[in-house]
Amino acid sequence: MAQKQIDVLAVGDVVTDAFIKLLDEQARVEKDDKGPRLSLPFATKVPFDHSEVVEAVGNAGNASVVFARLGFSSALVANVGSDQYGRDIIAALHKNDVDTRFVHINPGRKSNYHYVLWYKEDRTILIKHEEYAYHWPRFRIIDIPKWVYFSSLSQHAQEYHDQIMEWLEGHPPVKLAFQPGTFQIELGAHRLKRLYARTEILALNREEAATVSGGKPDDIDELFDRLHALGPKIVVISDGPRGAYASDGQSRYKMPIYPDPKPPFERTGAGDAFSSTFVAAIMKGATVEGALLWAPINAMSVVQKVGAQAGLLSVHQIDQYLRLAPSSYHPERIR
C-alpha cells in the first residue's frame, strides 16, 4: 500500500519512562535556596506503592502521538538502541499509528531509559541520555513533510542541529515548530539563531522564555518582543496553572487553563500536550485564538492519567470538551 505524504515529522530523543509511585508518608518536599527538593530516607529500604513503564515518550515522541491522535500522518526521527527497550519503543509508536521509518537503531547501544519518582501529583525524573551517532536522514521527495516539530535532544547532538538547520534552509516550503529542550536552551539563542529565524511556531514555558530571550520573567510583553526579534512568527508561552499566552506578532492573547474535572493525577507530559496540540490546531487552519482553545484541553486530559500519552484526545473528544466549557474559557486579547 502506498504511503501517504507525512504531514508532520517530529524530531528529538525518545525514551522509556519507568514510573515509581512513592508512598505519601515515605517522602516529603523540602525547600532551600535552590528551590524545592524531594527528600527520601537515606541508607535504608523505602517501600513504594507500585511502578508503571511507559514507552516512546520524551517531547518529540509525545508530540508524534498527539499528531497521530488528531488525525495527521505523523512520523518520528529519533534514535534507539538495539536492545529490547528499543524494540518496545518502536512497537509502542506503531501501536499509536506513528511512522517509524526514520527511527534509527544503533547497534550495540542502549536505549534511553529514565526513572520517574512520582510523588503525589508531581514527579522528579532521573535522566541519562545515551550517546548516539546523530545523522539527519536522506528523504525521498515523496517523504518530505509539510511540517517539522523539533524538540529535545541530548548534549551529544550539537552538530546534528547544524544538519537540521541546513536541511530546513534547503527546503523552504517545510514549516518548523520548535519546542526547545533543556540542552537546546543551554546552547543559547545565538548558537541556534538560524533555527529560531526559520521557526513558524515557538513554544516555551515562561521560565524558558526568559532564559532564551534574556527578558524579565514577569514582563510578558518584553518576552514576546524579544522572542519575535529572534524570528518566530508565532510565539506561545505556557504558564502552568496560570494559563498561557500567545502572539502572532500583531495581536497578543491570554488563555486560562481548562477546568480540571478532578485534581491532577500525574503531571508528566502536560507541556508537550499543550505545545503540540497548539501546533496541530494551527496545522488544521485554526487562528491563534482557536489554537489556544484546543491546547489546554489536551494538557488537562493528560494530567488525569499516568504518563504523557494515555490521556491524549482525538479531535472529537476535544470538541466535546469545548462544548462543555464554561463561558470564562476563552482567549482574552491583551494587545
Contacts of 250 (CB under 8 A, 6+ apart): none
User: What is the pLDDT confidence band of residue 18, given thresholds at 50, 70 and 90?
Assistant: very high
pLDDT range class, residue 267, cuts 50, 70, 90: confident
- Number of structural domains (the chain) is 1
Pull the grid cell for residue 72. Answer: 495527521
Average pLDDT, the chain: 95
Q: pTM of the prediction?
A: 0.94
Residue 241 has pLDDT above 80, yes or no: yes
Q: Which domain holds residue 187?
A: 8-29+47-333
At 278, the pLDDT band (50, 70, 90 cuts) reads very high
pLDDT at 263 over 90: no
Residue 125 forms part of a structural domain: yes
- Residue 1: the pLDDT is 43
Q: Is the residue at 36 inside a domain?
A: no
Q: Residue 173 falls within a domain, yes or no? A: yes
Confidence (pLDDT) at 308: 86
**CATH number assigned to the domain comprising residue 257:** 3.40.1190.20
**Spatial CA neighbour of 309 closest among 12, 112, 54, 73:** 54
* Angle (nearest 5°) at CA 183 between 98 and 277: 40
The distance of Cα 310 from the centroid of its chain, to the nearest Å, equals: 15
Average pLDDT over residues 315-329: 97
Is pLDDT above 70 for 2? no
294 located within any domain: yes
Confidence (pLDDT) at 3: 64
Q: What is the pLDDT of residue 313?
A: 96
Judged against a pLDDT cut of 90, whether residue 20 lies above it is answered with: yes
Task: Give me the mean pLDDT over the 78-99 stretch.
Answer: 98
For residues 246 and 34, the answer to whether their CB atoms sit within 8 Å is: no
Give the pLDDT confidence of 246-259 residue by residue, as tens digits.
999 999 999 999 99
**141-156 pLDDT, tens digit each:** 889 999 999 999 999 8
Give the pLDDT of residue 307. 83
Q: Is the pLDDT of residue 67 over 60?
A: yes
Grid coordinates of 166: 541546513
The reported pLDDT for the residue numbered 234 is: 98
Is 209 domain-assigned?
yes
Q: Are residues 55 and 16 in contact, defined by beta-carbon separation less than 8 angstroms?
A: yes
Q: What percent of the chain has pLDDT over 70?
A: 99
User: pLDDT of 34-57, one tens digit each?
Assistant: 889 999 999 999 999 999 999 999
Alpha-carbon distances, residue 329 vs 69, 271, 285, 293, 320 (angstroms) = 23, 19, 21, 8, 14
Calculate ∠ Cα 6-282-252, nearest 5°: 150
pLDDT number for residue 268 = 82
Per-residue pLDDT averaged across 80-95, rounded? Answer: 98
Domain for residue 2, yes or no? no
269, part of any domain:
yes
Task: Determine the 3-state secondary structure of 157 from DSSP.
Answer: coil
